[in-house]
Every structure is written in C-alpha cells, then in structure tokens.
Chains A and B, each alone.
Chain A
Amino acid sequence: MIARSTTFRFAALVFLFQIVGAAVLLLGLGALLRSQSRAAAVDQAETLRADLLLTYASGGMPSLSAAITHRLSGKSERRAVLFLADRTGKPLAGNLAQVPQGLEPDASYQLMKVARPGHAEAEAMFLSASQLPDGGVFVAGTVVEGERQVFSQLEHATASALFLALLFAGTAAFVSTRLIVNRLQATVTTLGQVREGDMSRRVPQDGTGDAFAQLGTEVNQALDRVASLNAELKFATETMAHDLKMPIARMQYALDHLARIVTEPEARAAIDRAMTESERLQAMVETALTITRAEAGLGRESFRSTDVSEMLATITEIYAPIVEDDGRSIVVDAPPGFHMPLHRQLMDQAIGNLIDNTLKYGAGTITLSLVPHKAGAIIAVADEGLGIPEDRRAEAVTAFKRLDPARGGGGAGLGLSLVRAVAHLHGGTIDLGDCAPGLIVRIVLDGERA
C-alpha cells in the first residue's frame, strides 16, 4: 500500500541514488588508488628486473649477484626486493632468505606477504620470479606494506563514510519528500475547503513558476470553471423553478377561484380532487427541485448553529398527536443542548419525511435519536416494523422508486432521496439498518464542514 504511494517511491529513489552515488565515489576511488599503486610498484620492480637481467646477460651470475648487492646498498632502493639463488636454491645475494613458497617462476607479479630478514613482521610486496638459463632463480619486487596499511585505513574510512552516506541519504529522502508534500499542501488544503463548500477558495500563487505553481494555477482555473458552472446550474434551477411552478400556480389560482364561486356539490367535489392532484404535482416539483439544489450543494450559506436536541424535541411535539392517533408513540433519545451547524428547514423536512415513511410503512414506537459522532452527530429515526431486507435497501433510496407500489400512498418515492440529498449537503451520508425488529435510518454527519 505505502510502497505504491508516489511520495514513498520518490523518497526511496532519492535514498537509492544517494547511496549508490556515495558507494561509487568511495569504492571507485579506492579501486583506482589500488590499481595505480599496483602499477607504480610493478613498474618500479620491472625497471629493476630488466636492468639487472641485462647485467646478467653481459656478465653472468657473478655480475648479477654483485649488481644486486650494490643496488640494495643504495638508499634509493629501500622498497626494492631482489634475490638471487643458484640452481640448488642456495641464496647468492638479495634481501630475501629464500624464494618465497608459492611464487611461480616466469609469471606476472604476485602480491604476497613475506618476511624479509631483519624485519620483525611479514610485509606485503609484489614479486616476480625469473628462471635463469643456468638454473638459478632471480626474484624482483617492490614492498607495498606502507600502501597496504593506507588502503586498510581507507577501507575503514570508506565503511564509516558509507554509513554516514546512509544517514545523509535517509535525511535527503525525508527532506525532499517533505518539501514536495509541503509545496502541495496549499493545493490540497484549498481543494478540501472547496469540497466543504467554500467555493471562493483558491490556491495562493507564489510566483515561483515551478511545476507546483503551475499545478496551483491549473487547479484555480478548474475551480473557476466549476464555480461558473455552479452559478449556471443555480440560475437554471431557479429559472426552472419559476417556469415549472408558474403554470401550476396558475392552475391552482383558477381552481381556487372556482372553489369560491361554485356551490354545486358535484362540481365542488371535482374541484377538490383537481386541487389535491395539483397540490401533489406541486409538492413533487418542489421536492425534486429541493433535491437538485441540495445535491448541487446549494444552500450551505443557510447553515446555522442549531440546537439539534431541541430541534428533535420540536419535531416530536409536532408529530406526536398524529402518531398517537395511530396507536403508536414517538420518543426522543438525545443528550440535551447538542449544537451543530445545520440547514434547519431541510433537516426538518428530511426528518419529517422519515417519520412520514414509518407512519406509512412501519409499526411500533418511533425513536428519534442523536449520538455525537466525530465533530458532528448521527441523527436517526427508528421504528419497530418489518424493516427493509438488506438487499433492497439501496433500491429504497433511489428516486421515484417505491418498494411496494401497491401501498402507494401519496408520495412520488422521493422521500429517501431527499433525506440523502440533505445528508450530502451537510457532507454526510445516510445508512439504512436493521434494529431487529424495525428499520433505522441514520443520517451520519461528520460535522467536518462548517
């Protein structure tokens, strides 16, 4: 999960590059120094060897032996290793006790640890042995013990440096990731505020012109577009409200006028029926418009801090007589004085719809409850009826859908859609549950907007 996050990947990449960079630098430098040191040592030994072999060619073993002794007495050849043995292996000259074991004649230079006579410890040296035509063995080489010690220290230093590099790489990965996250923070915050309904928020411009600034500009332009679409939607909704409602209004005025002048009982009954139908039509248009507006987030400017406990008590008081006439009861279960910002009228309507539903389809005691939840509350309406089977609950919330058309009633199946739209307007959700027996409809408000 976290491994797939881009910021994590970025941090890992920064870390990896830093480590690889440090390793290449330190190890590569070490390797370069080693190979140069080897080349210099071999070069020095080879020069000596070639020179002395020339002496051997012109003067044979005695000349070579003398030349070796002479060379080794010079101060300039302190690192030189020279040795000459006859065909029996008896040392003739040089600063070794014998031909070191394992040194193959006529091979390339080998790095060996050999103790020279007069030296307490074995030293590292490059050596090469040459088989002489008369059966003797001539060994030439260079002591590199000093360099070996330096390289050993260098190895320790490299290990420490790599460990430090690990720390630096970790820090660099963390810092660079924080840097990106911080640069994105303004954009993220702004989008959050917009989602919560404050359409006027924009990403602050920092004038750096980098990719983050471009992102901010793009986000702002997208928000401008959303705001203008929102304004158009609001205008269209209101125009539609006007255009749809005026014909209905005129019809109702005409019927209203007729009702006041007609006395004939049959005509009056017909007018009453027509009025009932036109009122239903009007209510459906109003509810559909309310849902549209709420789903579009229109109306958040009307949020007021509301005593939700008191609101539920008032609703209970209004509905109590009609519920009691049904042989049922309605109670409130809420802590006193719980306040949160709400669209009072729409919340009244949503809860009223839920009570209407249970009056139509439910049974038993109706409980209006309030439970504090995060920064908001869960407001629920529960009954003790048959409830709704789990697999049909999603269907129940769909607009213009009635689970049991035979039990129609007067509604258009918009009740729960409205409740859901109101919950959305408040940044919440609705949730249908089983309270065994009975249905519980919860309006879950996190209360994070406001």
Chain B
Amino acid sequence: MTQKILLIEDDATTADFVANGLHEEGFVVDRAENGRDGLFLATDGSYQCIVLDRMLPGLDGMAVLSALRGAGIATPVIILSALGSPEDRIKGLTSGSDDYLVKPFAFAELLARIRLLLRRSQGGGAAVETFLRCEDLEMDLLARRVTRGGRAIDLQPREYRLLEFLLRHVDQVVTRTILLEGVWDYHFDPGTNVVDVHLSRLRKKIDEGEARPLLHTVRGAGYRIGAKP
C-alpha cells in the first residue's frame, strides 16, 4: 500500500529536499506552503503522517497542530523546527506532536523517524510483549535472558537495554539520536562516536562467530537489526 505523507513547509529548499527524498523512498507526498492550506489538506484525514514546519506564514505550525488535534485527527505529526532549544522541543511534544526534529537534519534521520511513527501507528504495538525475537536471537523479558541459537549471551544492563530497544524495532533503521532518546531518554547528541562504541560491543556479543550477522550498520543513517544484510 502506498503511504501518503503531507508536508507543510514554507521554505522551498527544505520542502524540495524532504519531498524528493520521500518520493525516492516510494512515498506519495502532498505539499502545502502555509498553515491554512496545510490544515485544509490535513483535515482530509487520508495521510499516514504529517511533516509540519514550526514557523509558517499565516497560521503558525503549533496552531495547525492544536487545530488538528482539536478536530480529533490523530495522524502522527513530526515537527520540523529551526528552534533547537529544549523548551521548544518540550512545547512541541506536549502540544500533541509525536516527534520533533531540529533543522538542519539528515534526511536519513527524518526517514527513520517517519518509518518508526508509521510502524507504531499501523502495527498497533500496544500489546505488552514478554518475548522479543529476531531470527535465532531471542530475549525473554521476564527472565531477563538473551540467547542466540540456544547459546546464552551474557549482557551488561546497558547492553540489555540497547538490545531490547533494537529488538522492538526489528528491520527498522534507528539513528544514533533515536537510540540515545529511546534507550536513555538523553536528548543531547554527544557528537563523538559514543553510540557506535556501544553498538560495536553489542555486535561482538551477539554476532561474533555467527554465520549470519543480525546487527547491521546503515551507512549515513544508523543501525538496523534484522535478517536481511
């Protein structure tokens, strides 16, 4: 099924960049250049995700968001903002958006976050799982035990948390910032290869000596756990 995404963005460069990228990834993208048109299109309700700029001429992004939520439209919304301050991020998230991305961002970051939102809103995912699995890698959340092909893997608590997050997002690309936010609720990008070191340690424990590696590095984006190379 083709996924429809609504892009509400007044800056032509950003809009082209996002729209072209999404188009290449197989999404159908509708564009609006101001808040009023965006709100009009969004109330149609046929979109799986809305990418909304925070600062728009006419009707501001936050106003569009509250109007949407006020009208009972629950389409996932990612806010794009040049305002990088934590206050703005918190304001964005508490006023009904599902994610918040500060400009400039890598397209891979936006794509990964859109895919996570789509999966979350379409896959239900609300069920409380007690058992996570990817191929022969299994995690028993109740016993707090991890095995690969029956072999027990001894993980440090931080490695366990990281693997749990990855296993909840099998076959999805997760970026470094998504991991920092998702695993540690840490909203500052340390900039160094802090996350990469975590992943390479985890990879050593779950993939070393295995014929088929499960933890993959996605160039320029982040990581993915899954059977596909």
Q: What residues of chain A have their CB less than 8 Å away from a CB belonging to chain B?
A: 238, 241-242, 245-246, 248-254, 256-257, 259-260, 282-283, 286, 289-290, 293, 298-299, 301-302, 314-315, 317-322, 325, 343-346, 348-349, 352, 356, 359, 410
Contact = CB atoms under 8 A, between A and B. Distances in A.
B10 to A, nearest CB: 11
Nearest to A289: B84
A356 B190 contact: yes
**Interface majority SS on A: helix, strand, loop or mixed?**
helix
Given A250-B13, A253-B104, A256-B106, A317 B85 contact: no
A241 B83 contact: yes
Contact of A245 (B24, B104, B180, B192): B104
Given A250-B14, A253-B14, A257-B21, A245 B103 contact: yes
Given A345-B188, A352-B188, 6 more contacts: A241-B82, A253-B13, A317-B184, A322-B197, A348-B187, A349-B188
Given A253-B17, A314-B184, A299 B104 contact: no
A286 B188 contact: no
B19 to A, nearest CB: 11
Given A245-B104, A249-B103, A257-B21, A318 B190 contact: yes
Contact of A246 (B11, B87, B107, B201): B11
Contacts of A242: 55, 82-83
A174 B180 CA distance: 61
Interface string B151-194: 00000011000000000000000000000100011111011111
Nearest to A322: B197
B141 interface: no
23 contacts: A238-B83, A242-B82, A245-B104, A249-B13, A249-B14, A249-B103, A250-B14, A251-B104, A252-B106, A253-B14, A253-B104, A256-B106, A256-B107, A260-B21, A260-B24, A289-B84, A293-B85, A302-B90, A321-B194, A322-B194, A325-B197, A345-B86, A348-B187
A241 B192 CA distance: 23
A253 B107 contact: yes
B132 to A, nearest CB: 21
A322 B13 contact: no
A246 B103 contact: yes
Given A242-B55, A320-B158, A322-B197, A299 B188 contact: no
A321 to B, nearest CB: 4
Cβ-closest 8 pairs across A and B: A249-B104, A253-B17, A321-B197, A345-B86, A252-B104, A250-B13, A242-B82, A349-B188
A128 B201 CA distance: 123
Nearest to A251: B104
B125 interface: no
A289 B187 CA distance: 17
B186 A318 contact: yes
- What interface size band does chain B fall in? 35 or more
B145 interface: no
Contact of A314 (B90, B186, B193): B186
A299 B82 CA distance: 16
Contacts of B197: 321-322, 325
A249 B194 contact: no
Nearest to B20: A257
A296 to B, nearest CB: 12
Nearest to B16: A253
Interface string B66-105: 0000000000000000111111001000000000000111
Identify the interface centre among B21, B84, B104, B190: most chain A CB within 10 Å of its CB. B104
B209 interface: no
B115 interface: no
B87 A302 contact: yes
Nearest to A317: B158
A250 B157 CA distance: 40
Given A283-B191, A317-B184, A322-B192, A246 B86 contact: no
Interface in B107-154: 107-108
A301 B14 CA distance: 30
A248 B13 CA distance: 11
B83 to A, nearest CB: 6
A259 B158 CA distance: 33
A319 B194 contact: yes
Contacts of B188: 345, 348-349, 352
Contacts of B205: none
Contacts of A352: 188, 190
Contacts of B85: 290, 293, 298-299
A282 B104 contact: yes
A250 B107 CA distance: 12
